């Protein structure tokens, strides 16, 4: 993607973007006029107009649903009448409605809200949208936004309304439906509700599938769903979910539509509304149930400035083009309503999922604050301002070289840093002489404003630990936004530094020798970052390219690289960013090795967390390692690698460590990082607590 | 015979045939009561007029469809007329046709492409002659011809690329070296034996209406190619009324067969759209389908016995029974063999008494999908009339454009239509509505019951009866539509039709997707004018339907119109297969769709076909190269 910013980088003149809010102010376009504006979106050419009730009725009458109903009747010996009633009930619970008046009213409110919280604007890359408008006429489209915030779908709907794009039908989680009033309001605006898991309920699955299909095939509205499945609480993209993607792709694969266009959309926020909530959630404090009153209470947040939002419509992916090499005639010899995808189709579906997430990642916009968070998280105990500024500048140079686009606003980096410290003063404290700025100490603030609704007592952690950890987690989350750019070169850095601890300029290496280390680390972090399956070599190549672009290595001969003088600083930096993950993983393995009790899968991460909290003061143990997300990623990765086995006893999933493998993994990790300190008693203690239980 | 009188009587016969399509039989047909089943009852069926003479170019166009005298033509006022005297439409003026063609395909009066009137026969490739074969063959008394014109007119079928070439006055590099006219089954046996002895390549030809390149001579064929013109084998050998059977020579042309049978109160009921020109042997060799198959069945249902002369000998059954369980049905290997295994000489078909009653009808639907649902339910309830066809919106509008200046039967139609529009059609969107045409045939009470049943079902799908005239017109147009391609050629338009069969649940999707694919591919190919892609459902079965596509675009500005056209048709065929449709419902494979055979059936199946060929014809005497 081209650099979308003018070299001056002024937010007001971002080339290729329009500011939805700013624009309207200039034209004296009042909120009221926004809400009452003409709305004439383009329409899919084969779309037959129909009422929203007709949509779910069509799903009800579909061959698939009728077939499943007959199955259920036969196999569960229920009466047909009952099953049909159940089906209708499910559909009504599912379906969206269409009330332009409610929508305009909501539009009015939302537009006002957006104005009041996003002082810097909501930016949209308008050129792609223009192309999109034409495509919508020819093919059904699916919006696939990244998911970082509740604001994602509200912003997207308002943007669609603003740009005269058809309003999407949004596959939303059930939790919203529970909200009084708001549940129905959202429904009136195109949200339809899906249960989080319905893998086994065939009737529900059939109804949901057909409901999505009929909307997609007739093109009543663009479909919108989140490929990550849920909001990412940690700033990074989540691994894609394939269930809904398969549902979306099925009509094309079975030739019910000519094509389906997927539009990945990257929505990036300067500052997340949920930053605090996520911090607590990652520590295991349950999120408050979505409720309208909660929403009203949360409206206190509306007084703050949350900077700007960037909505980036990415280039479309045509399923026809993507699956073009597969012969759809494989589906000709059985009824189309039976869900069967060929193994080839499943394979490419998975790759498609990764492709979408990678594209979303690629089109994110970053703020200087994320860069600062990256620096700050390397210094959990604080650093002086001069150092912060210096390292931020150094990183800016690196990122410029690698064409990672960051919205550096006008002014010197020093000004930008100080402005951002002010903006995020709720997370960061600055201590020291006002007159001697460079000497003042910047550190993560240990004082948090407890978020209402959080029940800290239900946590494994004591309130003080939570208090001092949560801001570290939040800052880590901002840093996480950037990490996918660095992860591949960093895995190379680990490998290069493993032998000597530091890199000597002039050292020559063959990338093939890096492969075993690279593979080990990539397999380990596969849950943490997005790696397209079976693309090991490509990932390695990308990592090397990064290093080449930063002038850390140069290609020498056919397949050999030489380390440059300045390589060491970059390699050490790359290593230190990701050490926290490897450290957390190492600790998780230590817990598993030393604990003798039986572990149930759902409660295991909490136990690990509790144990780590107990050794939080040990050198090398960091606050971030308390993140349940990190711990469960570690556990999943270990299961995936076959270092842990999971089996079922009486409907409970038991996790069984495989000692040899874990020991091997731990010692291997220890070669890459300075492992956290663990004295003998702590390990033994672990054993004895377990023995007591 | 004097060609002029021959011509006139033929025209009369032609009118009679069409009249049968459009007028209910006034009087009850007389039934022949003979019960004789011996070979000597040739006198029962008097051979009537034969439509295609030995010199077919005297009657048929050299580089276009159908009769010499019949064509769409723009008159000096810039209005399109239909010339000649053979059809109801002949001599009529269609004022709306040119504006319609301008609007839908972009033709301009001054942007034309004339065809070369006379092909320079001296440029025709020199024949490869096998003198020993010719000598031996002439001893049998069969007529042999090496006349360039004879060879030329039997060197092609009616695909777009063949006609495009002929219009430029060119021929393929390889055309038949000689034409043989066998007179009966025994002649064919002798011919094949000699061909085997002298290693001659044989390509049988009937009416020559193939649209699959089946008659094209393989370019690399170095042997002498003898094309076997079957049209002189055109007698009905006998009729067995008791068992309702007739043995007919394979070279008989459809309209002659029906006319002769009608004279004794019988019919086969097999009426493919090409029945004016196509032959019985051709129907068997391509698995043809007739318009009225709902009553009479397709060719495979009509076929009771068939003789095929192969290099291994005559392939036939030794009894003539309605059905038998004796291993795989060998007829199924002859049906659709496309001239690759042998020559079909004599066919025994089921015949039926002529129907007492014929009625037309039509139904309008708000959109195509509803129409398809209705046809499906009609098929489900097994109350389908002899023919039921559903045109999409574009064809419906095309039908309107073909409306002649009010005259004869058309005036009543127009009046009917107007009234119909005013009183009933409100609420139907002319941009979406489509029409189904119906032909009921049989016993009057049965026809009445069928009509009631069909219209009741139609009502469920918002279909409304739209009058008898509308239906009648639709069927009458069937025969003249084929002539439209030629006027298209004159105005730089290439057009073609192709067909498929598809399960019911996929019909609507397939039609929409294929039309979309055609549009996208035309854009890819750089077509600068509006593209016409339209379809109709022409046959219904329990399990699915036959769909016919028409495609036309103006090629001005394209470097190689034929290549572009083929790319579009191949894309469309690819889409059809991806949508669960078949390679062909009744046109066959030929050489045009050979490339899709491996996608249509498994390797084992292709191997089976090949091994049968290998056994029956190890030296590839029947070397047309069709099918696999």
Cβ distance A255 to B513 less than 8 Å, yes or no, reads yes
B516 inside 8 A of chain A by CB: yes
pLDDT at A7: 35
Cβ distance A256 to B578 less than 8 Å, yes or no, reads no
Asked if the model's pLDDT at residue A317 lies above 90, the reply is yes
pLDDT at A338: 87
Domain boundaries, chain B: 56-105, 125-231, 236-353, 357-579
- Beta-sheet pairing, A121-125 with A308-313: parallel
Interface A–B counts its CB contacts (< 8 A) at 33
pLDDT at A261: 98
Residues of chain B with Cβ-Cβ distance to A255 below 8 Å are 506, 509-510, 513, 578-580
Cβ distance A255 to B578 less than 8 Å, yes or no, reads yes
Cβ distance B580 to A255 less than 8 Å, yes or no, reads yes
**Cβ atoms of B247 and B238 closer than 8 Å:** yes
Nearest residue of B to residue A325 by CA position?
A: B578
**Cβ atoms of A389 and A438 closer than 8 Å:** yes
B8 inside 8 A of chain A by CB: no
The pLDDT of A265-275, averaged and rounded, is 93
Cβ distance B509 to A256 less than 8 Å, yes or no, reads yes
B367 inside 8 A of chain A by CB: yes
Top-level class of domain B236-353: alpha beta
Mean pLDDT of chain B: 89
B506 inside 8 A of chain A by CB: yes
The pLDDT of A439-461, averaged and rounded, is 68
- Beta-sheet pairing, A169-173 with A223-224: parallel
Cβ distance B578 to A328 less than 8 Å, yes or no, reads yes
How is domain A581-670 classified at the architecture level of CATH? Orthogonal Bundle (1.10)
* Nearest residue, CB atoms, A258 vs list B506, B516, B577: B516
Asked if the model's pLDDT at residue B41 lies above 80, the reply is no
Nearest to A31 by CA among A115, A151, A126: A115
B582 inside 8 A of chain A by CB: no
pLDDT cut 90: percent of chain B above it: 78
Helix axes A511-524, A659-672, angle to 10 degrees: 120
B80 is in an annotated binding site: no
Output the CA–CA distances (angstroms, integers) from residue B407 to A338, B474, B476, in the order listed: 55, 16, 15
* Nearest residue, CB atoms, B580 vs list A46, A63, A331: A331
Per-residue buried b or exposed e for B474-502, using 16+ beta carbons within 10 Å of the residue's own CB: bbbbbbbbbbbbbbbbbbbbbbbbbbbbb
Q: How confident is the model at residue A172 (pLDDT cuts 50, 70, 90)?
A: confident
Query: Helix, strand, or coil here: A646?
Result: strand
Residues of chain B with Cβ-Cβ distance to A257 below 8 Å are 509, 513
Of the options 1.10.3470, 1.20.120, 3.30.110, 3.40.1130, the CATH number for the domain spanning A17-29+50-271+306-362: 3.40.1130
* Nearest residue, CB atoms, B580 vs list A46, A48, A329: A329
Up-side HSE of residue A173: CA atoms within 13 Å toward CB? 15
B159 is in an annotated binding site: no
pLDDT digits 0-9 by tens, A65-97: 999 999 999 998 889 999 999 999 999 888 888
Per-residue buried b or exposed e for B286-317, using 16+ beta carbons within 10 Å of the residue's own CB: bbbbbbbbbbbbbbbebbbbbbbbbbeeebbb
Nearest to B311 by CA among B193, B181, B182, B136: B193
pLDDT cut 90: percent of chain A above it: 60
How far apart CA A103 and CA B12 sit, in angstroms, is: 71
pLDDT digits 0-9 by tens, B593-620: 999 999 999 999 999 999 999 999 999 9
| B354 C-beta neighbours (distance < 10 Å), count | 21
B172 inside 8 A of chain A by CB: no
Cβ distance A255 to B517 less than 8 Å, yes or no, reads no
φ, ψ (nearest 5 deg) of residue B513: -65, -40
How far apart CA A445 and CA A468 sit, in angstroms, is: 8
Of the options 3.40.50.2300, 3.40.50.1110, 3.30.160.650, 3.30.360.10, the CATH number for the domain spanning B56-105: 3.30.160.650
Nearest residue of B to residue A256 by CA position?
A: B509
B344 is in an annotated binding site: yes
pLDDT at B305: 97
Q: Which residues contact A312 (CB under 8 A, 6 or more apart)?
A: A125, A128, A265, A266, A267, A268, A363, A364, A365
B339 is in an annotated binding site: yes
Residues of chain B with Cβ-Cβ distance to A336 below 8 Å are 505-506, 580
* Nearest residue, CB atoms, B512 vs list A46, A327, A331: A46
How far apart CA B609 and CA B471 sit, in angstroms, is: 42
Q: How confident is the model at residue B43 (pLDDT cuts 50, 70, 90)?
A: very low
Asked if the model's pLDDT at residue A688 lies above 90, the reply is no
Strands (E), B293-451: 303-310, 313-315, 343-350, 352-353, 357-365, 387-391, 434-442
pLDDT at B31: 38
Which two three-digit tokens encode residue A357? 């997430």
- State the smallest CA–CA distance between residue A52 and chain B in angstroms: 20
Asked if the model's pLDDT at residue B517 lies above 90, the reply is yes
Q: Residue B359 is inside which H or E element, if any?
A: strand B357-365
B349 is in an annotated binding site: no
pLDDT at B119: 85
Asked if the model's pLDDT at residue B377 lies above 90, the reply is yes
- State the smallest CA–CA distance between residue B628 and chain A in angstroms: 20
pLDDT at B22: 46
The pLDDT of B225-244, averaged and rounded, is 95
- Beta-sheet pairing, A428-431 with A441-444: antiparallel
Query: Helix, strand, or coil here: A404?
Result: coil
Output the CA–CA distances (angstroms, integers) from residue A416 to A4, A182, A384, A422, B293, in the order listed: 20, 39, 16, 10, 82
* Nearest residue, CB atoms, B517 vs list A46, A256, A258: A258
The pLDDT of B269-289, averaged and rounded, is 96
Mean pLDDT of chain A: 87
Altogether, the residues listed in chain A come to a count of 693
The residues of B annotated with a catalytic role in the active site are 548
B599 inside 8 A of chain A by CB: yes
Which of A492-501, A604-613, A656-665 is least confident? Answer: A492-501
Nearest residue of B to residue A63 by CA position?
A: B505
Which of A553-562, A674-683, B159-168, B368-377 is least confident? Answer: A674-683
pLDDT digits 0-9 by tens, A384-406: 899 999 999 999 999 999 989 89
Asked if the model's pLDDT at residue B536 lies above 50, the reply is yes
- The complex scores an ipTM of 0.86
Asked if the model's pLDDT at residue B25 lies above 60, the reply is no
Top-level class of domain B125-231: alpha beta
- State the smallest CA–CA distance between residue B134 and chain A in angstroms: 49
**Cβ atoms of B97 and B402 closer than 8 Å:** yes
| A38 C-beta neighbours (distance < 10 Å), count | 5
How far apart CA B474 and CA B366 sit, in angstroms, is: 18
How far apart CA B58 and CA B261 sit, in angstroms, is: 26
B579 inside 8 A of chain A by CB: yes
Residues of chain B with Cβ-Cβ distance to A256 below 8 Å are 509
Nearest residue of B to residue A62 by CA position?
A: B505
* Nearest residue, CB atoms, B513 vs list A63, A258, A327: A258
pLDDT digits 0-9 by tens, B174-198: 999 999 999 999 999 999 999 999 9
Q: Tell me which DSSP letter residue A620 carries.
A: T
B499 is in an annotated binding site: no
Cβ distance B510 to A255 less than 8 Å, yes or no, reads yes
Top-level class of domain B357-579: alpha beta
Alpha helices in A402-462 (DSSP H): 413-423
The pLDDT of A672-692, averaged and rounded, is 65
Residues of A in CB contact (< 8 Å) with B are 46, 48, 63, 255-258, 327-329, 331-332, 335-336
B577 inside 8 A of chain A by CB: yes
A43, A256, A333, best to mutate vs chain B, most B CBs in 10 Å: A256
Which of A287-296, A418-427, B121-130, B401-410 is least confident? Answer: A287-296
Cβ distance B513 to A48 less than 8 Å, yes or no, reads no
Q: Which residues contact A112 (CB under 8 A, 6 or more apart)?
A: A31
Supply the pTM of this predicted model: 0.89
pLDDT at B476: 81
Output the CA–CA distances (angstroms, integers) from residue B428 to A49, A53, A393, B393, in the order listed: 14, 22, 69, 12
Q: Residue B309 is inside which H or E element, if any?
A: strand B303-310
Q: How confident is the model at residue B469 (pLDDT cuts 50, 70, 90)?
A: confident
**Residue limits of CATH 3.40.1130 in chain A:** 17-29+50-271+306-362
The pLDDT of A471-494, averaged and rounded, is 95
B519 inside 8 A of chain A by CB: no
Cβ distance A257 to B505 less than 8 Å, yes or no, reads no
B510 inside 8 A of chain A by CB: yes
Q: How confident is the model at residue A14 (pLDDT cuts 50, 70, 90)?
A: low
Cβ distance A335 to B367 less than 8 Å, yes or no, reads no
**Cβ atoms of A658 and A549 closer than 8 Å:** no
pLDDT at A182: 76
How far apart CA A164 and CA A34 sit, in angstroms, is: 12
- State the smallest CA–CA distance between residue A256 and chain B in angstroms: 6
């Amino acid at each position: 993607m081209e650099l979308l910013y003018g070299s001056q980088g002024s937010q007001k003149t971002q080339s290729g973007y329009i500011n939805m809010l700013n624009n309207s102010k200039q034209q004296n376009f009042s909120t009221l006029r926004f809400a009452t504006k003409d709305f004439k979106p383009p329409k899919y050419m084969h779309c037959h107009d129909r009422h929203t009730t007709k949509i779910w009725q069509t799903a009800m009458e579909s061959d698939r649903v009728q077939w499943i109903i007959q199955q259920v009747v036969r196999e569960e010996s229920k009466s047909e009448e009952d099953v049909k009633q159940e089906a209708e009930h499910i559909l009504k619970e599912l379906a969206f409605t269409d009330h332009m008046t409610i929508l305009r009213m909501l539009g009015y409110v939302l537009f006002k809200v957006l104005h009041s919280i996003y002082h810097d604007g909501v930016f949209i890359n308008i050129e792609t949208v223009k192309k999109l408008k034409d495509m919508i006429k020819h093919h059904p489209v699916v919006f696939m936004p990244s998911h970082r915030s509740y604001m994602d779908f509200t912003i997207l709907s308002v943007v669609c309304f603003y740009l005269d794009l058809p309003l999407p039908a949004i596959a939303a989680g059930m939790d919203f439906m529970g909200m009084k009033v708001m549940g129905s309001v959202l429904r009136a605006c195109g949200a339809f509700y899906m249960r989080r898991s319905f893998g086994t309920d065939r009737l529900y699955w059939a109804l949901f599938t057909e409901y999505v299909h009929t909307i997609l095939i007739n093109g009543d509205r663009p479909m919108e769903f989140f490929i990550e499945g849920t909001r990412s609480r940690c700033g990074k993209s989540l691994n894609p979910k394939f269930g809904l993607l398969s549902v979306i792709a099925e009509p094309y694969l079975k030739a019910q539509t000519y094509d389906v266009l997927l539009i990945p959309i990257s929505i990036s926020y300067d500052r997340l509304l949920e930053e605090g909530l996520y911090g607590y959630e990652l520590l295991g404090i349950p999120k408050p149930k979505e409720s309208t009153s909660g929403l009203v209470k949360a409206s206190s947040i509306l007084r703050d400035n949350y900077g700007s939002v960037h909505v980036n419509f990415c280039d479309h992916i045509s399923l026809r083009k993507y699956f073009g090499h597969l012969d759809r005639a494989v589906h000709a010899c059985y009824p189309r309503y039976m869900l069967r995808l060929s193994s080839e189709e499943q394979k490419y579906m998975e790759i498609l999922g990764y492709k979408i997430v990678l594209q979303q990642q690629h089109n994110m916009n970053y703020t200087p604050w994320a860069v600062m968070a990256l620096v700050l998280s390397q210094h959990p105990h604080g650093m002086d301002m001069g150092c912060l500024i210096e390292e931020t500048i150094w990183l800016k140079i690196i990122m410029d070289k690698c064409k990672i686009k960051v919205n550096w606003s006008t002014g010197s980096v020093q000004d930008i840093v100080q402005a951002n410290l002010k903006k995020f003063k709720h997370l960061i404290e600055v201590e020291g002489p006002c007159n001697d700025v460079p000497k003042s100490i910047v550190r993560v603030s240990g004082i948090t404003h407890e978020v209402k609704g959080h029940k800290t007592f239900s946590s494994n952690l004591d309130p003080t630990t939570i208090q001092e950890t949560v801001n570290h987690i939040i800052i880590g989350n901002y840093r996480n936004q950037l990490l996918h750019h660095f992860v591949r070169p960093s895995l190379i850095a680990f490998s290069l530094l493993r032998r000597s601890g530091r890199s000597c300029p002039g050292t020559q290496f063959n990338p093939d020798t890096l492969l075993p280390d690279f593979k080990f680390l990539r397999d380990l972090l596969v849950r943490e970052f997005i790696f397209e399956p079976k693309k090991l070599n490509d990932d390695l190549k990308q990592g090397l390219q990064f290093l080449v672009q930063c002038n850390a290595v140069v290609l020498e001969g056919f397949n050999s690289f030489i380390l440059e003088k300045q390589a060491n600083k970059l390699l050490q930096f790359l290593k230190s960013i990701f050490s926290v993950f490897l450290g957390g993983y190492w600790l998780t393995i230590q817990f598993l090795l030393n604990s003798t009790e039986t572990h149930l899968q759902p409660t295991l991460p909490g136990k690990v967390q509790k144990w780590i909290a107990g050794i939080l003061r040990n050198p090398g143990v960091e606050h971030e390692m308390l993140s349940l997300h990190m711990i469960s990623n570690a556990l999943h990765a270990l299961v995936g690698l076959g270092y842990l086995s999971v089996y079922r006893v009486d409907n409970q999933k038991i996790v069984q460590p495989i000692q040899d493998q874990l020991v091997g993994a731990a010692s291997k990790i220890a070669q890459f990082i300075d492992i956290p300190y663990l004295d003998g008693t702590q390990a033994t203690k672990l054993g004895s607590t377990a023995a007591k239980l | 015979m004097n060609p002029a009188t021959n011509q006139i009587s033929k025209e009369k016969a032609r009118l009679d045939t069409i009249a049968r399509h459009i007028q209910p039989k006034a009087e009850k047909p007389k039934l022949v009561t003979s019960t004789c089943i011996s070979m000597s009852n040739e006198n029962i069926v008097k051979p009537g007029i034969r439509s295609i003479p030995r010199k077919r170019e005297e009657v048929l166009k050299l580089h276009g469809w159908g009769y010499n005298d019949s064509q769409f033509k723009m008159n000096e006022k810039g209005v399109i007329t239909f010339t000649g005297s053979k059809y109801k439409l002949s001599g009529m003026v269609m004022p709306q046709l040119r504006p319609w063609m301008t609007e839908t395909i972009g033709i301009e009066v001054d942007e034309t492409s004339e065809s070369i009137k006379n092909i320079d026969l001296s440029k025709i490739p020199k024949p490869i002659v096998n003198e020993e074969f010719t000598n031996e063959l002439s001893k049998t008394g069969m007529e042999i011809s090496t006349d360039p014109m004879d060879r030329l007119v039997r060197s092609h079928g009616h695909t777009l690329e063949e006609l495009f070439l002929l219009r430029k006055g060119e021929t393929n590099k390889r055309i038949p070296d000689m034409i043989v006219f066998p007179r009966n089954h025994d002649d064919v046996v002798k011919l094949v034996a000699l061909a085997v002895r002298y290693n001659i390549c044989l390509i049988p030809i009937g009416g020559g209406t193939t649209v699959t390149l089946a008659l094209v001579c393989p370019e690399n064929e170095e042997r002498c190619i003898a094309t076997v013109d079957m049209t002189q084998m055109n007698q009905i050998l006998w009729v067995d009324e008791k068992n309702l059977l007739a043995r007919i020579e394979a070279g008989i042309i459809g309209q002659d067969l029906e006319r002769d049978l009608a004279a004794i109160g019988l019919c086969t009921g097999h009426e493919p759209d090409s029945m004016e020109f196509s032959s019985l042997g051709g129907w068997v060799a391509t698995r043809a389908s007739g318009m009225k198959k709902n009553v009479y069945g397709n060719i495979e249902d009509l076929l009771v016995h068939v003789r095929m002369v192969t290099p291994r000998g005559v392939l036939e059954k030794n009894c003539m029974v309605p059905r038998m369980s004796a291993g795989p049905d060998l007829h199924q290997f002859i049906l659709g063999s496309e001239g690759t295994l042998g020559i079909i000489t004599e066919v025994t078909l089921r015949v039926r008494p002529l129907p007492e009653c014929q009625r037309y009808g039509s139904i309008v639907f708000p959109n195509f999908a509803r129409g398809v649902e209705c046809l499906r339910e009609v098929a489900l309830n097994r109350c389908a009339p002899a023919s039921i066809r559903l045109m999409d919106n574009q064809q419906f509008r095309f039908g309107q454009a073909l409306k002649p200046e009010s005259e004869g039967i058309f005036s009543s139609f127009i009046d009917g239509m107007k009234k119909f529009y005013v009183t009933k059609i409100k609420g139907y969107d002319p941009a979406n509505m489509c029409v189904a045409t119906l032909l009921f045939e049989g016993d009057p009470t049965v026809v009445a019951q069928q009509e009631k049943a069909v219209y009741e079902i139609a009502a469920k799908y918002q279909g409304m009866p739209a009058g008898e005239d509308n239906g009648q017109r639709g069927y009458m147009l069937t025969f003249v539509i084929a002539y439209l391609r030629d006027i298209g050629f004159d105005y730089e338009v290439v057009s073609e039709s192709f067909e498929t069969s598809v399960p019911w649940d996929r019909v609507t999707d397939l039609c929409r997707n294929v039309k979309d694919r055609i549009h996208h591919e035309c854009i890819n190919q750089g077509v600068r004018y509006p593209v016409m892609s339209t379809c109709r459902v022409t046959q219904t079965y329990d399990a699915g339907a036959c769909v016919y596509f028409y495609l036309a675009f103006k090629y001005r500005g394209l470097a190689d119109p034929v290549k572009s056209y083929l790319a579009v048709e191949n894309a469309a065929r690819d889409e059809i297969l991806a949508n669960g449709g078949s390679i062909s419902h009744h046109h066959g494979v030929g050489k045009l769709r050979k490339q899709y055979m491996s996608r249509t059936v498994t390797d084992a199946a292709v191997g089976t076909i090949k091994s049968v060929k290998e056994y029956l014809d190890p030296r590839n005497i029947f070397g047309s190269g069709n099918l696999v």
